Structure 1
Amino acid sequence: MSLQVYAHRGYSAVAPENTMAAFQRAVDAGAHGIELDLHLTKDDEVVVIHDETVGRTTDGKGRVRELTLDELRQLDAGSWFGEEFKGEKIPLLSEVLTLVAEKGLLVNIELKNNKIAYANLESKVITMLQEYDLVHRTVISSFDHYSLRKVKELCPDVDTAILYMANLFEPWEYARKVGVTSIHPYRPTVVESMVAKCREYNLPVRPFTINQVKEMRRLIGLGVDALITDKVEQAFTELNRGE
């Protein structure tokens, strides 16, 4: 399989992150897949937002877990990025999966449960993936590796990926022990020997977040399986250079 481009929080270089506008622009730019982040609301709805709080990416305040869906949907998630995006809402996961299914996208779902222990987040996500027939087009990632074990128990067929920041000793062995099927390392930890070893173990390597041209070229040269990037069109420019 040729290298894939995942739009990090949607095409977040040109639209407000984790909004339907950003996901649609990823589609328009030809991204193979989108990456998104999940939290649970006060009334246990699965919503797409990166932070535990709403202040950075909306005109509101407070923790996602302490606000109902109705309260969250009243917030403007676009104006902070640009006036043309005024009125963008925090999406439900179901809304994004509808787009993914319609457009034939891949999707990388990050469970943001490493700071807040969301009960049943894993089962809610798996149920939705099954309803939309997207299990085989999804990779579920998390910094909470216990959560990934739970995901695999619920749905052995779904691709799962450990997220990590610091250098991990023999990540291919660690991945096998955890039971995941891919790795999503922080970009500086990716070196030639690691990529080669992961290939021996049949572990796709999808580093994050790749926005600098020099780093795109380095990682493409190492033969990683995907780039997770804010800059979708730049990534394709670099991919096309190598052809």
Structure 2
Amino acid sequence: MIDSHSAGPDRSRNGRVPRSGLLAALLAAALGLTTVALTAPHAASAAPGAAPGAPAPGEVVVDEHFDGPALPAGWTAVEGTWRIADGRLVGASADWNQQTRITFGRHLTDFRLEVTARFESVVDAARWTALGLDVPANGATPWSIATVRSGSTAANGLEFARRTPADAWNVTDTAVAPTAAGTGRDVRLAVEVHGGAARWILDGREVMRTTQVARSADGGQALLVNGARVSFDDLKVTALAPGAFLRQPGAPLTVLAHRGASSAAPENTLLSDEVARRAGADWIENDVQPSRDGVPHVLHDDTVNRTTNGSGRVRDLTAAQLGALDAGSWFAPAAAGARVPTLAAQLDDLRGRGGSLLLEIKGPHTRDEVARIVQDVRDRGMTGRVFVQSFETDALRYTRELAPELPLGLLRASLDADPVAVARDLGLSAYNPADAALAARPEVVAALHAAGVAVNVWTVDAPARWKALDAAGVDGIITDRPAELTGWLAARQ
């Protein structure tokens, strides 16, 4: 980018995977030579924009206190035993192999699901209850859930997971809860979902994020119980505005991996994306520019000289020529064979393996060149997981005209006289300044927030500056060191 319920891999914000010895294995995975445990389902994100009759942001879609004698209208008990008792909904699962579930609600792209839950009894401490984030009304697989075990302080006490069409588990994220759920204790559970991204909130505290919620065309919400008897009360589903990029009170900074994890792998490659995923980055930031024959490629510099074994301007080389280059040897021998990905290939990788993309349109682009970028994003069903940014205001205007559903961010090396006015003029979701520029005028953060505009700062690799920016209230940090920033945030929490 920027110039001057089984054990699963822990890629949550509360932990990080050691990088030593991983580079060769990650390269093989990124090149499709092997399958690693991280593999996420190949699933389209939800369709962009609001459907006819969609609820307005802030509208409460479901508000249930279980005061009646029977299950609420529109609630479907799919498996196990569900009943109303003493003003609470009670779900019971006979053993660890029964996925007791009840479905309700409607399909929503952006929403918050929250409920008070209490484990009344469990077969063992590994048993769980879950909030169903995208579950068909008949409860059939596949479905996506957020779980909490009664032994929630275990290494996998909290999870984001998917039950696949083959009726098997794909656990994408795990974390340790700050307190034990146990039995006989009310805990307030909440998950906020924005397309394929979600954040898990336990008793008012964010504990984990994911970018790997598999979305369907029509799945609604659900509650699930496994090997336990769990009671629920005060359930609410609230529609949210698309792309909520402002940091919520008490939430950690958003981690945006600069050119992937560019301190640990060759930048702007599928390998650096994989390392960023394992580091727990919320967004992967990469650059895009066209080949001579108009195919968008992921590459930062005007030329291929610095980051490949070739030479020449990107725009003077064909897609075939770019695809033949080695983009990894310059970084490390173990990375030899990494390629310059097309935007389409990167989107396919993110869609299949997980992750959201902060995509910088690099340098001046014509309207037709921007249209090709938009086409690639739409063709792969990724509009819910792509955020476009650029230094070029024309590129942002073209994007807004062609794809109003895509959020926009303006990159700045120095601050505008009135950032809020510029943000309004361009229809920005984020204003993304250089660290040094913001340090001179930190008061603009509050002004932009008051206008509903997020602030993400580039490119910051030092803990002292992370601390200062956190205190200044910025929303996200673009960094070459996502693993270190993720670990630093976990330690502070």
- After TM superposition, the score normalised by the length of structure 2 is 0.48
Deviation of 1:13 after TM superposition, in Å, equals 0.6
1:166 aligns with 2:414: yes
Q: Which runs of 5+ in 2 are unaligned?
A: 1-247
Q: Is the 8 A contact 2:367 2:398 kept in 1?
A: no
Equivalence for 2:45 = none
Deviation of 1:118 after TM superposition, in Å, equals 4.3
- Higher mean Cα deviation, 142-151 or 132-141? 132-141
Whichever structure has more helix as a proportion of its residues is 1
What CA distance in whole angstroms lies between the structure 2 residues aligned with 1:104 and 1:90? Answer: 19
1:157 aligns with 2:427: no
Equivalence for 2:268 = 18
What CA distance in whole angstroms lies between the structure 2 residues aligned with 1:159 and 1:192? Answer: 23
What CA distance in whole angstroms lies between the structure 2 residues aligned with 1:172 and 1:188? Answer: 19
**Corresponding letter in the other structure for 1:138:** V
Q: Runs in 1 of length 4+ with deviation above 6 angstroms?
A: none
Which of 113, 132, 135 aligns to 2:380? It is 132
Identity %: 32
Which of 281, 285, 288 aligns to 1:38? It is 288
Which of 65, 78, 82 aligns to 2:332? It is 82
Q: Is the 8 A contact 2:276 2:483 kept in 1?
A: no
Deviations 1:119-161 (A, max 9, x none): 5221111112222222122211111111101110111111001
Which of 443, 459, 466 aligns to 1:216? It is 466
After the TM superposition, which residues 84-123 of structure 1 pair with which residues of structure 2 at under 5 Å, given as runs?
84-114=334-364, 117-118=365-366, 120-123=368-371
Seen in structure 2, the aligned counterparts of structure 1 residues 104 and 79 have a Cα distance that, compared at 3 Å, is: closer
What CA distance in whole angstroms lies between the structure 1 residues aligned with 2:303 and 2:367? Answer: 18
Equivalence for 2:316 = 66
Deviation of 1:192 after TM superposition, in Å, equals 3.5
Equivalence for 1:176 = 424
What CA distance in whole angstroms lies between the structure 2 residues aligned with 1:222 and 1:138? Answer: 26
Which of 119, 140, 143 aligns to 2:391? It is 143
What secondary structure, in the 3-state scheme, does the structure 1 residue paired with 2:388 have? Answer: strand
What CA distance in whole angstroms lies between the structure 1 residues aligned with 2:425 and 2:402? Answer: 17
What CA distance in whole angstroms lies between the structure 2 residues aligned with 1:43 and 1:85? Answer: 27
- Higher mean Cα deviation, 210-219 or 124-133? 124-133
What secondary structure, in the 3-state scheme, does the structure 1 residue paired with 2:396 have? Answer: helix
Deviation of 1:213 after TM superposition, in Å, equals 1.4
Deviation of 1:170 after TM superposition, in Å, equals 1.8
- Higher mean Cα deviation, 119-128 or 57-66? 119-128
What CA distance in whole angstroms lies between the structure 2 residues aligned with 1:41 and 1:118? Answer: 13
Which of 195, 205, 211 aligns to 2:455? It is 205
Whichever structure has more strand as a proportion of its residues is 2
What CA distance in whole angstroms lies between the structure 2 residues aligned with 1:43 and 1:146? Answer: 22
- Higher mean Cα deviation, 46-55 or 174-183? 174-183
What secondary structure, in the 3-state scheme, does the structure 1 residue paired with 2:443 have? Answer: helix
What CA distance in whole angstroms lies between the structure 2 residues aligned with 1:7 and 1:99? Answer: 16
Deviation of 1:91 after TM superposition, in Å, equals 0.4
What CA distance in whole angstroms lies between the structure 1 residues aligned with 2:352 and 2:321? Answer: 28
- After TM superposition, the score normalised by the length of structure 1 is 0.94
What CA distance in whole angstroms lies between the structure 1 residues aligned with 2:475 and 2:356? Answer: 13
**Corresponding letter in the other structure for 1:209:** T
Could you say which structure has the larger radius of gyration? 2
Deviation of 1:102 after TM superposition, in Å, equals 2.3
Q: Is the 8 A contact 1:149 1:180 kept in 2?
A: no
What CA distance in whole angstroms lies between the structure 2 residues aligned with 1:94 and 1:58? Answer: 20
Deviations 1:64-83 (A, max 9, x none): 11111111122111111000
Which of 277, 287, 310 aligns to 1:27? It is 277
Deviations 1:16-57 (A, max 9, x none): 000111001111111111000011111111100001100010
What CA distance in whole angstroms lies between the structure 1 residues aligned with 2:303 and 2:359? Answer: 19
Q: Is the 8 A contact 1:136 1:159 kept in 2?
A: no
